[in-house]
Amino acid sequence: MKAFRLFTRATFWLSIISLVGAVHDAGFGENDTFEPFIQVLFLWTISFGIGSTVLRYIQGEKRPGRGVIFFDAISILFLLAVLLINLEWIIVHPYMEHNNWLNLAILLVFVREFSALRIEFKRALINPAQLFVLSFMVVIVFGAFLLMLPNATKEGIGFLDALFTSTSAVCVTGLIVVDTGTYFTHFGQTIILVLIQIGGLGIMTFASYFSYFFSGGSSYENHLVLSDMTNADKLSEVFVTLKRIIQVTFSIELVGALLLYFNLPEAAFASEAESGFFVIFHSISAFCNAGFSTLSNSLFDDSFKFNYGFQLIIIFLFVFGGIGFPIMFNVYQVVKTFFQRRLFPFLSKEKPLYAPWRLNLNTRIILITTGILTGLGTIFFFIFEYDNTLAEHDWVGKAVTALFGATTPRTAGFNSVDMAALKFPTLMMIFLLMWIGASPGSTGGGIKTSTFAIGLLNFISLARGKTKIEVFRREIAAISVRRAFAIISLSMIVISAGIVGVAWFDRDLSLLDVGFECFSAYSTVGLSLGITSALSDGSKWVIILVMFIGRVSMLSILIALIPKVRHETYQYPTEEILIN
């Protein structure tokens, strides 16, 4: 048993060293001096990876699940094939001899060995908010260094611009200081794509779930920490929720990529590989509400601004990504129950009992708020821009472009019109939509639709002389109201501070441009009136900070920094404060 642990530990460290070597090769190019050594290291790592996986089944006391067995079987076959090809023991198509397959094998070994570790979170040492904030900081800094690798860009990039791009990708914002499509190589764009995916779901989501998947269990402490991050209703459902999030994300992104592929303009790209990378990049960027595009003018590009089918698919992706995973799961359960109990009751194993409130209060509020914002936004965009940015479109095009213009400010960040040409009333509407943003538990930012809805409901309740907020025969908890107004207040403070900071460093910029940039950064939208690349170094630091705070939320940062107090049993006398 001790020898087995030493072997698996050696495999884990070999995989880390090999992964660094793979990144070095990809980032700096192959070095004739070290290449033979690295090649041997890779082959030994793959061999150890195969041996470590096999030994787990020989030495393991607990039988792994069917999913793990299937994954390991496929992995071993793939690793064996790569090993034999690189040893030249079998002859295959030259395409299979590409170094990318070898690098993928190294990554697979690392993921398997890392996932076999028992990740333990200690709430006494670090609380969930601190862990959440710290994980984003680590990924951002690591991503910045990766983007500084020589092969990631065509002309090289400084640390500040790399950090800005990495922050924008991890915080799924989309603001850019250099053009993604022309400045970065395919390797650099791949790094940005990975950062977007990690930022959209969170590095802890991936690490925790894969650790649980391969180990088959987790500590009670881990369940407590992850329940705060996933908003799971029950501790027992934490990893089920993580599994659903990952499955839904990859499924929608895959379907989106396929639909985008079939809506590409003819002869848009020189090869199928370029077309495939393009649709995968935009599918992931859209679902994660990142707004990054390899097109210099986003979807306002001449080849895509009249491609309404392509735009509708992008809308579908970022609306699903911004609606929130809890809402998607609840709606799915409602639809499933309806089909089982109403349309096909003979197929249901459960008795057809009446199930009130199957569509919970969160879902109702968010769906209604989202529908109203989308509908009104589309109508006003259509009216305001009818003879302006929509003038070159036909009636169908006007409707689709207006819908796109109303939904993309909700943290998606793509644009299908010239943002600098929009009328002032349209920009004011976009300010509001950016500030509200997406829904809680989603890949989007902003103060969130539920927060905005609670604010409006509170106004109505106060106007009617009520002391509590009631909706759909339910009373909204006081803690939810306090959190909502804390988020609203903190968002205004952060955005105002950002505007003051940028205006101080770049005094020649107009207040409208600066305000738009800061609202976009805080709500992780990514839309801009064209000033991002012209910002001074000081303003870039300000926008980086605003993007980061907007993604993790100022409330989470305060919870991470301020120690919690014990709940006291006493209560002071209540007094009203004069307001208005």
Cα 447 to Cα 173, 272, 296, distances in angstroms: 14, 40, 29
pLDDT-based confidence at 384, cuts 50/70/90?
very high
Residue 519 pLDDT > 90, yes or no?
Answer: yes
Give pTM, 2 decimals: 0.86
Q: What is the mean pLDDT of residues 396-404?
A: 94
Q: What is the mean pLDDT of residues 342-356?
A: 56
Other Cβ atoms less than 10 A from the Cβ of 315: the count is 21
Residue 307 CA to residue 346 CA, distance in Å, equals: 45
What's 309-368 look like in SS3? HHHHHHHHHHHHHHHCHHHHHHHHHHHHHHHHHHHCHHHCCCCCCCCCCCCCHHHHHHHH
3-state secondary structure of 471: strand
Domain boundaries, the chain: 2-115, 128-318, 361-561
Other Cβ atoms less than 10 A from the Cβ of 354: the count is 6
Of residues 79 and 520, the one with the higher pLDDT is: 520
Please answer whether residues 168 and 176 qualify as being in contact, where contact means their C-beta atoms are separated by less than 8 angstroms: yes
Please answer whether residues 521 and 173 qualify as being in contact, where contact means their C-beta atoms are separated by less than 8 angstroms: yes
Residue 59 pLDDT > 70, yes or no?
Answer: yes
Q: What are phi and psi of 471, to 5 degrees?
A: -155, 135
Please answer whether residues 121 and 225 qualify as being in contact, where contact means their C-beta atoms are separated by less than 8 angstroms: yes
pLDDT of residue 14: 86
Over pLDDT 70: what percentage of the chain? 83
3-state secondary structure of 420: helix
Give, as one character, the DSSP assignment of residue 97: G
Question: What's the farthest any 2 CA atoms get from each other in the chain?
Answer: 84
Q: What are phi and psi of 153, to 5 degrees?
A: -130, 165
pLDDT-based confidence at 98, cuts 50/70/90?
low
Residue with tokens 């509020």: 365
Residue with tokens 């009446």: 354
Q: What is the mean pLDDT of residues 512-534?
A: 92
| Strand segments (E) across 58-157 | none
Residue 94 pLDDT > 80, yes or no?
Answer: no
Residue 374 pLDDT > 80, yes or no?
Answer: yes
Q: Picking from 132-141, 183-192, 336-345, 506-515, which range would have the lowest pLDDT averaged per residue? A: 336-345
Question: What would the two tokens of residue 570 be?
Answer: 């006493």
What pLDDT, in 10s, does the model give residues 105-114? Answer: 888 888 777 7
Question: CA 453, 558, 516 angle in degrees (round to 5)?
Answer: 55
Residue with tokens 């902003």: 446
Residue 194 CA to residue 77 CA, distance in Å, equals: 26
3-state secondary structure of 572: coil
Sign of the C-alpha dihedral, residues 174, 177, 183, 187?
Answer: negative
Per the DSSP assignment, residues forming a β-bridge with 471 are 474
CB pairs under 8 A, 24+ apart, for 41-44? 41/14, 41/17, 42/18, 42/86, 42/102, 42/105, 42/106, 43/83, 43/86, 43/87, 44/14
Please answer whether residues 243 and 211 qualify as being in contact, where contact means their C-beta atoms are separated by less than 8 angstroms: no
Q: Picking from 25-39, 274-288, 417-431, which range would have the lowest pLDDT averaged per residue? A: 25-39
Helix 2-28 × helix 99-115 angle, to 10° = 140
pLDDT of residue 64: 67
The one-letter amino acid code at 340 reads Q
Please answer whether residues 415 and 315 qualify as being in contact, where contact means their C-beta atoms are separated by less than 8 angstroms: no
Give, as one character, the DSSP assignment of residue 390: T
pLDDT of residue 326: 82
Cα 129 to Cα 132, 134, 233, distances in angstroms: 5, 8, 18
Residue 44 pLDDT > 70, yes or no?
Answer: yes
Cα 470 to Cα 373, 460, 486, 488, distances in angstroms: 21, 10, 20, 20
Other Cβ atoms less than 10 A from the Cβ of 279: the count is 22
What pLDDT, in 10s, does the model give residues 146-194? Answer: 999 988 998 889 999 999 999 999 998 989 999 998 999 988 999 999 9
What pLDDT, in 10s, does the model give residues 218-243? Answer: 554 555 555 555 555 555 566 667 77
Instruction: Select, from the ranges 223-237, 460-474, 501-515, the one with the highest average predicted confidence (pLDDT).
Output: 501-515
Residue with tokens 């802890």: 204
CB neighbour list of residue 479: distance below 8 Å, 6 or more residues apart: none
Total residue length of the chain? 580
Please answer whether residues 508 and 156 qualify as being in contact, where contact means their C-beta atoms are separated by less than 8 angstroms: no
Please state, rounded to an integer, the average pLDDT across all residues of the chain: 83
Please name which of 184, 154, 444, 232 lies closest in space to residue 323, comparing C-alpha atoms: 444
Residue 501 CA to residue 367 CA, distance in Å, equals: 36
pLDDT of residue 85: 79
Of residues 85 and 543, the one with the higher pLDDT is: 543
pLDDT of residue 220: 46
Q: Picking from 15-29, 217-231, 497-511, which range would have the lowest pLDDT averaged per residue? A: 217-231
What's 9-54 look like in SS3? HHHHHHHHHHHHHHHHHHHHCCCCCCHHHHHHHHHHHHHHHHHHHH
Residue 469 CA to residue 481 CA, distance in Å, equals: 9
Of residues 420 and 576, the one with the higher pLDDT is: 420
- In angstroms, how far is the first alpha carbon of the chain from the final one? 72
The one-letter amino acid code at 502 reads V
